[in-house]
C-alpha cells in the first residue's frame, strides 16, 4: 500500500512514447478527425463468473456492457486508445505536447492510476527516479492530495461508464465482436479510420450482435462452454490476441 508519494513531472516525454492512450468517446472523435489511428482493446467477463475480479465487482460492472454470447451473456469493456507504438504524433522535437491545452484526460492524469483498485507504484511507471524525489505530495495514505487531479480521475471513470454502450455499438457496427477474457488478455483491433470516424459521427443502434470469446486455455474454454458461451481459439485474422 502506498504511504506518501511526492511527484513533479520532469518533462522527459517517456509517457508519450510507446503508450496507447485511452480516450473518451469525444477524444476518440477528435483523434480520428486529426488523422490519428485508434486501437480498440476489448476484454469480457461473466457476472460473478470467469474473468470477473470479485473485489472489483462494482467498478467493472459500471464500465462494462451486457452482450449476447452463445446461449449466455457476457459483459464487455472496450477501450478506444490513441495508437502510439512509438512517439505520439503530437510530441514535438523538444518533447513538448503540441496539443497541450487539449490533450486527453489520461495524459493529464498520468502517472496516477484511474482504477481505484490499483495503488500507484512508482516503479511501474516511466517517470525517472528524480520525478519522485521532488515536488508536492501527490498521494497521502491511499488518497490523491490534489483536488483538481481527483476531479480528472472522477471524470475519466465517469466517461468510461457513460461511453460504454456507444463504444459497444461502434464495435458491433464495425465487426469487432471477439473479445478476450478479462485477466486472460485483450483482443486488439486497428479499425479503418474512415469507417471508425463515420461510426463515431453517428453512433449506430445496438444491433444485438453475437459475441465470441477468444480463449486458448483448455480448462477455461471448458468452463465457459459449460455456461453456454461461444469461444474460439482459431488464429486471429482481423485482430490480435494479447494474452497475459
Ligand atoms: S497527446 Fe500530448 S501529452 Fe498525450 S501522449 Fe501525445 S504528446 Fe503526450
Ligand atoms: S514519464 Fe513522468 S516525468 Fe516523464 S513526462 Fe511523463 S509524467 Fe512527466
Q: How far is the CA of 34 from the centre of ligand 2 (A)?
A: 24
Ligand 1 pocket, CB under 6 A: 16, 21, 88, 90-91, 97, 99, 103-104, 107
How many whole angstroms separate alpha carbon 36 and alpha carbon 194? 11
How many whole angstroms separate alpha carbon 105 and alpha carbon 122? 20
At 142 the pLDDT is 82
Continuous H helices in 34-134: 57-62, 105-109
In the block, cell 492512450 appears at: 21
31-76 pLDDT, tens digit per residue, is: 999 999 999 999 999 999 999 999 999 999 999 999 999 999 999 9
144-169 pLDDT, tens digit per residue, is: 999 999 999 999 999 999 999 999 99
Q: How far is the CA of 38 from the centre of ligand 1 (A)?
A: 14
Task: Show pLDDT as tens, one digit a residue, over the chain (244 residues).
Answer: 457 899 999 999 999 999 999 999 999 999 999 999 999 999 999 999 999 999 999 999 999 999 999 999 999 999 999 999 999 999 999 999 999 999 999 999 999 999 999 999 999 999 999 999 999 999 998 889 999 999 999 999 999 999 999 999 999 999 999 999 999 999 999 999 999 999 999 999 998 999 999 999 999 999 999 999 999 999 999 999 999 8
CB 41 within 8 A of CB 191: no
Record the cell numbers describing residue 231, joined without a space: 469461444
Which residue minimizes the CA distance to atom 5 of ligand 1? 16
154 CA to centre of own chain: 15
How many whole angstroms separate alpha carbon 42 and alpha carbon 200? 17
The finding on whether 135 has its CB within 6 A of some atom of ligand 2 is: no
Amino acid at each position: 500500500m502506498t504511504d506518501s508519494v511526492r511527484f513533479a513531472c520532469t518533462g522527459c516525454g517517456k509517457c508519450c512514447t510507446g503508450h496507447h492512450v485511452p480516450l473518451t468517446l469525444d477524444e476518440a472523435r477528435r483523434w480520428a478527425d486529426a488523422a490519428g489511428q485508434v486501437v480498440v482493446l476489448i476484454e469480457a467477463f461473466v457476472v460473478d463468473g470467469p474473468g470477473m475480479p470479485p473485489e472489483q465487482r462494482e467498478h467493472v460492472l459500471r464500465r462494462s456492457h451486457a452482450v449476447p454470447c452463445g446461449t449466455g451473456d457476457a459483459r464487455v469493456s472496450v477501450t478506444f486508445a490513441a495508437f502510439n507504438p512509438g512517439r505520439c504524433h503530437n510530441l514535438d522535437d523538444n518533447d513538448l505536447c503540441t496539443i497541450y491545452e487539449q490533450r486527453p484526460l489520461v495524459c493529464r492524469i498520468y502517472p496516477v492510476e484511474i482504477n481505484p483498485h490499483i495503488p500507484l507504484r512508482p516503479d511501474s511507471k516511466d517517470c525517472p527516479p528524480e520525478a519522485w524525489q521532488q515536488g508536492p505530495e501527490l498521494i497521502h495514505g491511499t488518497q490523491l492530495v490534489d483536488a483538481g487531479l481527483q476531479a480528472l480521475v472522477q471524470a475519466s471513470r465517469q466517461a468510461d461508464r457513460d461511453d460504454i454502450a456507444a463504444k459497444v455499438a461502434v464495435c458491433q457496427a464495425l465487426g469487432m465482436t471477439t473479445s478476450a477474457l478479462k485477466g486472460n488478455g485483450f483482443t486488439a483491433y486497428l479499425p479503418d479510420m474512415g469507417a471508425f470516424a463515420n461510426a463515431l459521427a453517428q453512433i449506430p443502434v445496438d444491433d444485438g450482435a453475437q459475441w465470441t470469446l477468444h480463449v486458448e486455455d483448455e480448462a477455461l474454454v471448458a468452463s465457459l462452454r459449460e455456461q453456454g458461451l461461444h469461444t474460439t481459439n482459431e488464429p486471429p485474422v482481423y485482430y490480435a490476441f494479447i494474452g497475459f
